[in-house]
Every structure is written in structure tokens, then in C-alpha cells.
């Protein structure tokens, strides 16, 4: 009773004096970077400056062999040492091991039963948190994709949807206390099996509760699965896009965020993805809008800022801007080549959008595709770092 009386007196004092109860601190904004270990030779982790705005570094990838976590990159030991050194130079940095990626199999079998999940997660915990103690602060699950939509040669099952949730819980159970558990989840509405719905692959509401962060892959919306040349990461729905309306409304950055929020993933756990690469289409004809929304013969990859700048400097290439997609593109009329890409302007717009929607932050795929000035990273980080 004495405790209750004291609490009542304290509450009365606050009212009389006009004092306020301190608000809980807002969660730390996330400026995430995926680092592909294939860039180790040209863009080593040791080259990341101490004053980088990156808060979370995702090391890609660990894969699965015989139901166990493995890392096959020949530079892994050196990379892990560099991560430790970077964390010494920047103590606030969190490093996560990203498991999976496009083309990585083994998830469906590893997650199939309680026994297989325990063995798989135990192998990851032993490799990354015991053998390499201090390097990683969590795991990032990049299963592409449970149930359907991933590469056709990879095993998937209807049970994958539920088993993905079980797998996340098993990571939570076995990893050291305080470890982060995150996942990279898709938004592109066309995949290997045609029209794609993330809610058929993932229990989004449950994952929104279980995960610390969701790295929302708000890119790869215009790929070789698309019927026409199109944008890789349009900010908003474009009416002229010939994709069926039921899919098109979600196949853009704003629509994808709305979709995940509607399915129970909290805004404060969503981290918006920005692509640092371009996607190209060899179109059959120019069409009325400089190669946009045209049937194509083949696709190609444009590997980062420097590759885009080389195209811009080459004869025959012209740059355009779409006011709704809020994205640039390049077109070469003589060669009938269309390239969707993002620049500092468009990435800055996406990061500001994430900030305005109350999302946790933004991340990029992939750090090694930025230029030497880190112009895209700077533009992505600015709304969250001031």
C-alpha cells in the first residue's frame, strides 16, 4: 500500500509541476550494407573508413551443404579479421552473417524437421559464434524462396512457409543472448513460377514479430521474368506499365512497403532496400518512350556506378528521368539497349521516403558497386544521419 501511495503522490506531483515522463528512446536508425565476398580483392573490408555511416554490415554469403552452414570464399578468414578490425575502429557497428542468397539451395531440407533445424542452426552457431567469436552480432536469413518462386532447380515444399518461421525461432533459441536475427524478404511480383506473392512464401505477420529487422528487397522488380523492359525499383506505380493491375500495384517501392505493413510487419522493423546496380534489356524496338516498356530479346547486368558512368560517356547513350517512378534510365537507340539504374538523386528520394514512412532505415545491395566517393551510400544515409 505504501508503494501505491508513493506512486500516486509522484503522479500528482507531475500534474502540479507540469513535469513530463521521459519518453523511451527511439530505436537506432539502420544504415545497412551488404558486402559480397567476391569483392574482397578489389574492395576489401579493410578499406571501409572508420567514419562510415554504415550501422549494420551484412557479410554475404554463407551457404548450406549437407544441412550445415559453410563459407567457401577463399578470402573468408581475411574478411573476418577485417570485420573485427572495423568493429574495433567503429565499436557501434553490428556485423551479421547472411545465409543463402539467390541460387543457394538446402534451406527446405535444413528447415524440414525439428531435428534438422536444430542441427543446422547448431552448425551456424558453432562456425560463426564459437569458432569466430566476436566477429558477428547476428544472422541474416536470405532464403530465396520458401514454397515457390526461387530457382527451379532448388528444392521447395508447401511446408516451407511454416518452417521458415520455425527456423527463425530456432536461431533465436540457439544464438548467444542479444544476437540479432534478421531476414531479407522479397518484393518483386514476378519470379520463376510467374506471378509471385510473398505471403504465400512467408508467414509475414509472425516474422514481423520474431525478427529484429526485415531487409525489404525493394528492387529486382524489373528482371528477366518481366514481359517488357522496365524499372528495377520504381518508387511508385506507373499506369503505363503493362503489368496486370493486381500485381503492378505492389511491384514498386511504395506499394511493397504498404503490402508488408498490411501483412503485419511493423514499420520500425522494415529497412528499405536500394539497388546500387543496373539491369539492362536488349529491346526489339525503341517504342514511344526511349526503350521503356518494350518487348526484349535478352537481358544483361550493369555492375554498379562505374559501369553506368562508362555507358553515359559512350557514344549513342542518352539519359532520361521518369517523374512517377522517380528513376533514371539510359537508352541507346542505335543498339536498342535500355538500362534501368539508380543514382544519388533517386536513392536519396527513396531514403527520404523510408524516413517519412517511419521505417527503420535503408540498406543497399551491394557496397562494392558504389564509386570511390561512396556517393550512393552518402545519399542513402543522409536522411538518417543528418
For the record, the C-alpha cell of 165 comes out as: 518461421
Our measurement of the distance from residue 113's CA atom to the centroid of its chain's CA atoms, rounded to an integer in Å, reads: 27
CA distance 241 to 225: 15
Which strands form 278-283's sheet, in the order they lie side by side? 296-302, 278-283, 337-340, 327-332, 317-322
For the record, the C-alpha cell of 301 comes out as: 547486368
CA angle 381, 210, 365 (to 5 degrees): 30
Q: Count how many Cα atoms sit within 13 Å of the Cα of residue 293 in the half-sphere of its side chain.
A: 11
Catalytic residue among 126, 133, 144, 203: 144
* Helices 344-356 & 253-262 angle (0-180, nearest 10): 20
CA distance 339 to 144: 25
Instruction: Name the pairing type of β-strands 361-365 and 270-275.
Output: parallel
Task: Mark 305-335 as b/e (b = at least 16 C-beta within 10 Å).
Answer: bebbeebeeeeebeeeebeebbbbbbbbeee
User: Among all chains, which residue has been given the C-alpha cell 518484393?
Assistant: 187
Of the candidates 291, 150, 166, which has an alpha carbon nearest to the alpha carbon of residue 228? Answer: 291
For the record, the C-alpha cell of 256 comes out as: 511493397
Instruction: Name the pairing type of β-strands 30-36 and 361-365.
Output: parallel
For the record, the C-alpha cell of 35 comes out as: 558486402
3-class DSSP state for residue 63?
Answer: strand
CB 193 within 8 A of CB 150: no
For the record, the C-alpha cell of 278 comes out as: 543496373
The secondary structure of residue 38, as a DSSP letter, is G
CA distance 365 to 264: 25
Residue 144 known to be catalytic: yes
How many helices, marked H, and strands, marked E, lie in the chain?
A: 12, 16
Catalytic residue positions, numbered? 144
Amino acid at each position: 500500500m505504501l508503494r501505491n501511495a508513493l506512486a500516486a503522490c509522484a503522479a500528482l506531483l507531475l500534474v502540479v509541476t507540469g513535469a513530463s515522463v521521459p519518453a523511451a528512446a527511439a530505436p537506432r536508425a539502420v544504415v545497412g550494407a551488404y558486402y559480397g565476398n567476391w569483392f574482397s580483392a578489389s574492395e576489401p573490408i579493410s578499406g571501409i573508413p572508420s567514419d562510415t555511416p554504415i550501422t549494420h554490415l551484412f557479410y554475404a554469403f554463407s551457404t548450406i551443404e549437407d544441412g550445415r552452414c559453410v563459407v567457401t570464399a577463399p578470402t573468408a578468414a581475411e574478411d573476418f579479421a577485417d570485420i573485427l578490425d572495423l568493429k574495433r575502429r567503429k565499436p557501434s557497428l553490428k556485423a551479421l552473417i547472411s545465409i543463402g542468397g539467390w541460387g543457394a539451395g538446402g534451406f527446405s531440407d535444413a528447415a524440414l524437421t525439428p531435428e534438422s533445424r536444430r542441427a543446422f542452426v547448431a552448425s551456424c552457431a558453432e562456425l560463426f559464434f564459437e569458432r569466430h567469436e566476436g566477429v558477428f552480432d547476428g544472422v541474416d536469413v536470405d532464403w530465396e524462396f520458401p514454397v515457390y518462386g526461387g530457382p527451379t532447380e532448388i528444392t521447395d515444399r508447401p511446408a516451407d512457409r511454416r518452417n521458415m518461421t520455425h527456423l527463425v525461432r530456432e536461431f533465436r533459441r540457439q544464438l548467444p543472448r542479444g544476437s540479432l536475427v534478421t531476414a531479407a524478404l522479397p518484393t518483386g511480383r514476378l519470379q520463376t513460377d510467374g506471378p509471385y506473392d510473398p505471403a504465400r512464401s512467408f508467414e509475414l505477420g509472425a516474422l514481423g514479430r520474431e525478427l529484429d529487422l526485415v531487409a525489404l528487397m525493394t528492387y529486382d522488380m524489373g528482371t528477366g521474368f518481366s514481359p517488357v523492359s522496365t524499372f528495377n525499383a520504381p518508387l511508385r506505380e506507373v499506369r503505363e506499365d503493362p503489368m496486370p493491375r493486381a500485381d503492378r500495384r505492389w511491384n514498386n517501392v511504395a506499394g511493397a512497403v504498404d503490402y508488408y505493413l498490411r501483412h503485419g510487419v511493423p514499420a520500425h522493423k522494415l529497412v528499405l532496400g536500394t539497388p546500387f546496380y543496373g539491369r539492362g534489356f536488349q529491346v526489339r524496338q525503341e517504342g514511344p518512350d526511349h526503350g521503356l516498356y518494350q518487348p526484349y530479346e535478352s537481358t544483361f547486368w550493369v555492375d554498379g556506378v562505374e559501369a553506368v558512368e562508362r555507358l553515359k560517356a559512350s557514344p549513342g547513350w542518352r539519359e532520361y528521368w521518369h517523374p512517377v517512378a522517380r528513376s533514371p534510365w539510359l537508352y541507346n537507340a542505335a543498339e536498342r539497349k535500355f538500362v534501368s539504374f539508380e543514382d544519388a538523386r533517386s536513392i536519396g528520394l527513396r531514403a527520404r521516403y523510408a524516413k517519412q514512412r517511419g521505417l527503420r532505415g535503408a540498406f543497399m545491395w551491394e557496397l562494392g558497386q558504389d564509386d570511390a566517393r561512396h556517393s550512393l551510400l552518402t545519399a542513402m544515409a543522409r536522411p538518417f544521419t543528418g
